[in-house]
Structure 1
């Protein structure tokens, strides 16, 4: 009896209609590399997002396939690592807004006012993104403590590109439409001429913030003194449980006893009661 011809494998759904071949093995490699570099844990549902964001890097670096790009990326290990930074930048999510989760800023203001006048404050915002969150923090500090506030904020992110935007402090009017007229007049300069439609934060806000790149996975963090306050909002959702615990232990070490940790609305660290006590809605106190 003659053998029938072998049936050709059906094309993988990952390959259909794509500019570049994109296989489960490619996705597995990307997952491994971003986890090792940035602690980010990508689940299966992120395949389309990863493809579209990294496809831009393939075009930019003129690679014909993900395999070739990833081989080349791994060969950069010993170099200064510009493409590693682009790889991380492409896969990090930067969703932010001024005074997002407003209850945190109300609690922050009350906490700042509860201490004696002249108290020196050190704070860290470790997912600064394009700057809306750090500027919201220092606006709150100035409103609560007055113009003589002794308040210093370290604002960090793993993504070099968003940090550059944050340091400039320039925003479209759309970005600030949720702010009151009083806040807009007090803390922002309105653009004129070619800059119509833009606002820039006033120098007094910019002076209170030091922007720096920090990878939460790196062996050492560049801080000399402990903090009174840490904002780590909507960061831990990208980490698996062991990575979350490791980062929380290190935040515990850089926070003063009694210091406050502000986290995202979807984050819950009841497993780390030995480190932090719940103080309010998604606000923890260092034990």
Structure 2
């Protein structure tokens, strides 16, 4: 039976919008210029599905028209939506769990104010995990600690500020943490849990593009978390960002990287301490 008659269609994906090779190339160039993100060739379907929503929102059928509109208006709000659409937000509470005991050991004996920067906070699970760790480690002193949480994706930041998560996601944590750090939703919020106000109060969420010439953050920090973000940048961009991180850390500050990231051969500003944790190179 021909594919069309079977009701399943052919093997080629049917599309109602036109994405040419030139359009895809231009999208890759624009997101690299705006956010430093390197889109691989195999991301074409992802690009189509994510930007198609913006196209339909504007009543457009050709990607070329959408891109032309963007380029005519370099300060338009649509650039924010374009960047948000092409940003990946894969995260979880206490992801790469071995980092959090290391953080606890690092700040446990501090008597001055503890400050942590989460440089790719996504939808909030990572900075909230950091805040929970500080509360468990510092006790009453945690009220003086600060977590600066930044991300380029403004939609993800809005979800992070709200601090509301599906209950099945929260219940993956141990029971003592769910009781201490979350409020279970009722009525219309049934099936969800919200971060308790005392945890949320520790975190300052801000939009930040790591490629921007000026960052709205200032050191010194006891630690910087920038995990599973550098993989989207080329080596030149990675080097530039890492060398801007270094002076924002305290002399003994820690830089936490993702499990698939290695900075040892990118810059001599940092040296590996172990388990994807880096320290500033002495004398730098």
TM-score by length of 1: 0.91
Q: 2:139 aligns with which of 146, 149, 157?
A: 146
Gaps of 5+ in 2: 1-11
CA distance in 1, matches of 2:73, 2:66: 11
Alignment: residue pair count:
269
Quick check: 1:83 aligned with 2:82? Answer: no
1:170/1:16 CA distance change after superposition, 3 Å: closer
Gaps of 5+ in 1: 1-14
CA distance in 1, matches of 2:274, 2:49: 39
What CA deviation, in whole Å up to 9, does each residue of 1:181-228 have, x standing for no partner?
A: 111111111111221111111111111000000000000001233211
What CA deviation, in whole Å up to 9, does each residue of 1:219-266 have, x standing for no partner?
A: 000123321110000000000110111111111122222210001000
Instruction: Look up the match of 2:191.
Output: 197
Instruction: Look up the match of 1:269.
Output: 263
> What SS is found at the alignment partner of 1:200?
strand
Cα root mean square deviation, aligned: 1.3
What CA deviation, in whole Å up to 9, does each residue of 1:148-194 have, x standing for no partner?
A: 22310100000000100100111110121211111111111111122
TM-score by length of 2: 0.92
Higher Rg of the two aligned structures: 1
Q: 2:29 aligns with which of 18, 29, 32?
A: 32
Q: 1:49 aligns with which of 28, 46, 51?
A: 46
Deviation at 1:43, TM superposition (A): 1.2
1:138/1:70 CA distance change after superposition, 3 Å: same
CA distance in 2, matches of 1:273, 1:258: 18
CA distance in 2, matches of 1:123, 1:174: 28
CA distance in 2, matches of 1:61, 1:246: 36
Instruction: Look up the match of 2:66.
Output: 69
